[in-house]
Amino acid sequence: MRGSFMSFLAAVESARSVAVFDSNRSAVRVNGTRMLADLDKLATYGVDPEGGLSRLGFTSAEDSARAFLREAAGRAGLGSTVDQAGNLFLHPGETLPDGPVVLMGSHVDTVRRGGRFDGTYGVVAGLEVLRTLTEHDLPMRHTPVAVAFSNEEGALFPYPFWGSLAVTGQLEAPAAAVDRTGRSIREPLARAGGDLDAIGEAVWPPGTVAAYLELHIEQGPVLESRGIPIGVVTGIVGRTIMEFEVRGKQNHAGTTPMDQRRDALVAAAKLVLRVEALSADRKLCAVSTVGDLAVEPGQANVVPGRARLTAEIRDLDPTRLEVVEALLREETARSARQSGVDVTCVTTMRSAPVRTAAPLQAAIEAAAADLALPAVALHSGAGHDAQMIAAVAPVGMIFVPSRDGISHAPEEHTAPGQLVDGANVLLHATLRA
Ligand code: HGY
Ligand code: MN
Ligand code: MN
């Protein structure tokens, strides 16, 4: 009798402690003021006099931003580690745990004249969640770790997703990596704390990451136009980048008859329109862009002899990307023959579309519901480190609205309250991961 009364008391006590534990967990919130102050501070690194931030990967501006993150982590009693690929990890304790970990993060490098939230928000929110979990001493199944992946944008060293490719063993020929002027990545990587000769050691052993959660601004118009604060990302588009070089014949602009020209820029201009038509008119892929074009020698009185341009295509369907890439090569070769120019084409990047993990989508939805924040499922038209990590671990992504759908531009903006809401969803999704 006494035994059963004691076990009844024990059951009551245990139910009560579970209830207290659960209410502690569900009541916990990030320190929004602290996180927003970190974002403000980070917006001071890489200010471009022409507007926005030019905090390109592997530059001193990015080094300063990363130093600030390490200091902020240190002030919170957290440790920091840089791996051979230049990825920065912030973690409880002195050393990076072996795993399994729940990883939260993104990148702090920007495009030229980019915004202050793309990538940086996910890293700062990851740090804030880590600080919150530590302060409240909330037990977790897996150790939480925040990460700033190196060179996600690839704006200076044109190897986008450098850091996330390295940790997943997908980085090809890193030793040959150079910027557009031919300068090796070796020294800038070393300055960031990496080591080109040992970069293979950055690869994560299987099972290291139990879950990867990336919080990011949407960078598009869906959430704002629907008035919904949280996006649950279901998939991320794949992307193919091709670099074309068009060689014509440099000649005098006054004396060369129009029917005797081999104008590299005119041929390149036709290619620009062909790339646009792939998605805009022919609907063969979701979007297609020429984002870079250089003309040589670039003088008003010279028929251009050489033009270089990029073509970037994106879609959720890998087969469509393959078909469009092959078609663009074939049609460009045919058109070059007709125009009397030579065209070479190199595909410099292919990233596969990915689906996010259903259990993490569910964790994000449940976290938003607990916080009474409406959420909607959507896919990402932008690329993210999550896409690379999906090769080795389950990934989940949370979006918050972008004002006017603008990103990769100085006007990029998300309201402070929406930033804090997103961070709280990250916190509660992490607690469920
Ligand atoms: O270009 C992208 O989609 C990413 O922002 N790097
Ligand atoms: Mn970006
Ligand atoms: Mn980004």
pLDDT at 99: 80
pLDDT in tens, 299-356: 999 999 999 999 999 999 999 999 999 999 999 999 999 999 999 999 999 999 999 9
Cα(153) to centroid of ligand 2, in Å?
Answer: 6
Q: Whose CA is nearest to atom 6 of ligand 1?
A: 153
pLDDT at 3: 43
Give CA–CA dist 95/155, Å, rounded. 31
Tokens linked to 230: 């949280």
Q: Where are the alpha helices (DSSP H) in 179-317?
A: 186-191, 222-226, 264-280
Please state the atom number of ligand 1 nearest to the C-alpha of residue 408.
5
pLDDT in tens, 115-149: 999 999 999 999 999 999 999 998 899 999 999 99
- Label each residue of 152-191 as H, E or C: CCCCCCCCCCHHHHHHCCCCCCHHHCECCCCCECHHHHHH
Cβ–ligand 1 contact at 383 (below 6 Å):
yes
- Measured on CA atoms in the order 375, 378, 381, 382, is the torsion positive or negative? positive
Cβ–ligand 1 contact at 163 (below 6 Å):
no
pTM of the model: 0.90
pLDDT in tens, 220-240: 999 999 999 999 999 999 999
Q: At what angle do helices 32-42 and 60-75 cross, to 10 degrees?
A: 160
Contact 250, 297 (CB under 8 A): yes
**pLDDT over 60 at 5, yes or no:** no
The CATH architecture annotation of domain 238-351 reads 2-Layer Sandwich (3.30)
Q: In a mutational test of the pocket of ligand 1, which residue from 110, 116, 387, 408 has the highest number of ligand atoms less than 8 Å from its CB?
A: 408
* Look-up of token digits 């925040």: 146
- Bridge partners (DSSP) of residue 312 are 241, 289
Q: At what angle do helices 264-280 and 318-339 cross, to 10 degrees?
A: 150
Give CA–CA dist 270/233, Å, rounded. 36
What proportions of the chain, in percent to the nearest 5, are helix, strand and coil? 40, 25, 35
Please state the atom number of ligand 1 nearest to the C-alpha of residue 152.
6
- Closest-approaching ligand to the CA atom of 119: 3
Cα(239) to centroid of ligand 2, in Å?
Answer: 13
Cβ–ligand 1 contact at 152 (below 6 Å):
yes
Cβ neighbors of 23 (< 8 A, separation 6 or more) are none
- Closest-approaching ligand to the CA atom of 106: 3
Cβ–ligand 1 contact at 315 (below 6 Å):
no
CATH class for the domain made up of 29-237+353-432? alpha beta
Cβ–ligand 1 contact at 214 (below 6 Å):
no
Contact 378, 157 (CB under 8 A): no
pLDDT in tens, 154-204: 999 999 999 999 999 999 999 999 998 999 999 999 999 999 999 999 999
Mean pLDDT of 248-255: 98
**pLDDT over 50 at 19, yes or no:** no
The three-point CA angle 414-419-422 to 5° equals: 125
pLDDT in tens, 63-81: 999 999 999 999 999 999 9
